[in-house]
């Protein structure tokens, strides 16, 4: 019962509070920007040569204002916004009118999930294993070489590293395609030729994320292992004749993994950093590229829809990690 009161309930309250605050900021931020989606739509219609009578223009502006949820005061818009959100309705997109935001997000989401979840899992697993071994055998030559490489790679900005890979492997040697997530005009099917083409197109974006993310995970894990290796209980185990494999796996790596588990959930936030930039550089058809186009075009509904899905995803992942944390650290169950 103590665990429920002191651990479970506070985290559920934090989960709801973070989602509410995040969604509220998502609602407010686009409305303080100078871009007006209604007037931009009217300007585009006029730029195409459309002639509208004054009465007709007023009706179109009124219909578009209602469609984009901009009718009434901010408080009225806020309540209407939550009503649409609870119904799962994010409205229509501005720059791909009249396509609904839900359809655009659900079309782009599998691309980002496939890329981000795969690279995060591989990066976290290999980075911790190699970093843990490098931390324990820190005086070995191969450990120092890997650490030097990680120190060189880690500070590189995502867009610089992505452009380097793109220039070398897509323009110079032409091993991989320049842009896209699949061949142009290909129909998504669960067949090996299509899956192979998707893997081929996503190789460079995946390598960009894994190398830079892996360097961070590697160095973090190496430092954690080095610190734990100097602890008294580890030295006592060595003096007591405990097998080295047991010391590394059960005493050192297991303890060093605890902060890394939390970092795993936070790593999903890459959609706003590395994954966003990577998708833009490679023209990858995921949520990052969709969000970039929405920002450029001032598409309120699409921006809010993507960010809200990301808020739910990241906060839910962090909550699940928090709830499973006691399984890895028994001390939490007795706090």
- Residue-wise pLDDT tens digits, 126-176: 988 898 888 888 888 888 898 888 888 888 887 788 888 888 888 888 888
41 falls within a domain: no
- Residue-wise pLDDT tens digits, 33-81: 666 666 666 666 666 655 656 566 666 666 666 666 666 677 777 887 7
266 falls within a domain: yes
CATH number of the domain where residue 282 is located: 1.10.3720.10
Q: What is the pTM of this model?
A: 0.75
203 falls within a domain: yes
223 falls within a domain: yes
Along the 335 residues of the chain, how does pLDDT read in single tens digits? 666 677 777 788 888 898 888 888 877 776 776 666 666 666 666 666 556 565 666 666 666 666 666 666 777 778 877 877 888 777 777 777 778 888 888 888 888 888 888 888 888 889 888 988 888 888 888 888 988 888 888 888 877 888 888 888 888 888 888 877 777 766 777 777 878 888 888 888 888 888 888 888 888 888 888 888 877 877 777 777 778 778 777 778 878 887 787 777 666 665 556 677 788 888 888 888 888 888 877 777 788 888 888 888 888 877 887 777 777 666 665 55
What is the domain count for the chain?
1
Is the Cα torsion angle 256, 261, 266, 270 positive or negative in sign? Answer: positive
Q: Give the range of the structural domain holding residue 264, as residue numbers without chain letter.
A: 110-298
Q: What is the CA radius of gyration of the chain?
A: 25
Q: What is the DSSP string of 209-275?
A: HHHHHHHHHHHHHHHHHHHHHTSHHHHHHHHTT--HHHIIIIIIIHHHHHHHHHHHHHGGGGGGTHH
69 falls within a domain: no
Does 98 sit behind a cis peptide bond, omega within 30 degrees of 0 on the bond before it?
A: yes
Residue 196: half-sphere exposure toward Cβ, Cα within 13 Å: 3
Provide the b/e sequence for 230-250 (b: ≥16 CB within 10 Å): eeeebeebeeeeeeeeebbee
User: For the chain, first and last CA: distance in Å?
Assistant: 11
Does 62 sit behind a cis peptide bond, omega within 30 degrees of 0 on the bond before it?
A: no
246 falls within a domain: yes
Angle at CA of residue 301, ends 300 and 306, nearest 5°: 105
CA distances from 110 to 114, 181, 289 (A): 6, 11, 13
159 falls within a domain: yes
């Amino acid at each position: 019962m103590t665990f429920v009161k002191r651990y479970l309930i506070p985290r559920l309250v934090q989960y709801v509070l973070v989602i509410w605050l995040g969604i509220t900021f998502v609602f407010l931020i686009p409305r303080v920007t100078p871009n007006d989606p209604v007037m931009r739509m009217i300007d585009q219609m006029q730029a195409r040569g459309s002639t509208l009578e004054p009465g007709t223009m007023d009706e179109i502006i009124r219909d578009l204002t209602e469609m984009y949820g901009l009718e009434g005061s901010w408080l009225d818009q806020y309540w209407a916004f939550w009503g649409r959100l609870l119904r799962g309705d994010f409205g229509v997109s501005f720059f791909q009118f009249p396509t609904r935001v839900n359809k655009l997000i659900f079309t782009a989401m599998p691309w980002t999930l496939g890329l981000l979840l795969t690279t995060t899992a591989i990066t976290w697993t290999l980075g911790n294993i190699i970093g843990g071994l490098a931390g324990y055998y820190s005086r070995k030559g191969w450990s120092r070489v890997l650490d030097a490489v990680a120190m060189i790679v880690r500070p590189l900005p995502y867009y610089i590293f992505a452009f380097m890979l793109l220039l070398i492997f897509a323009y110079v040697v032409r091993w991989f395609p320049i842009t896209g997530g699949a061949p142009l005009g290909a129909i998504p099917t669960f067949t090996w030729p299509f899956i192979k083409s998707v893997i081929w197109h996503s190789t460079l974006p995946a390598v960009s994320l894994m190398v830079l993310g892996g360097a961070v995970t590697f160095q973090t894990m190496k430092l954690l292992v080095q610190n734990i290796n100097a602890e008294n209980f580890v030295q006592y185990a060595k003096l007591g004749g405990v097998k080295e494999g047991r010391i590394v796996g059960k005493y050192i790596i297991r303890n060093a993994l605890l902060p890394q588990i939390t970092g795993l959930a936070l790593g999903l936030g890459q959609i706003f950093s590395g994954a966003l930039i990577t998708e833009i550089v490679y023209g990858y058809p995921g949520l990052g590229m969709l969000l970039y186009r929405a920002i450029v075009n001032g598409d309120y509904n699409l921006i809010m829809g993507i960010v809200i899905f990301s808020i739910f995803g990241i906060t839910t992942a962090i909550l699940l990690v928090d709830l499973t944390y006691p399984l890895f650290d028994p001390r939490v169950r007795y706090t």
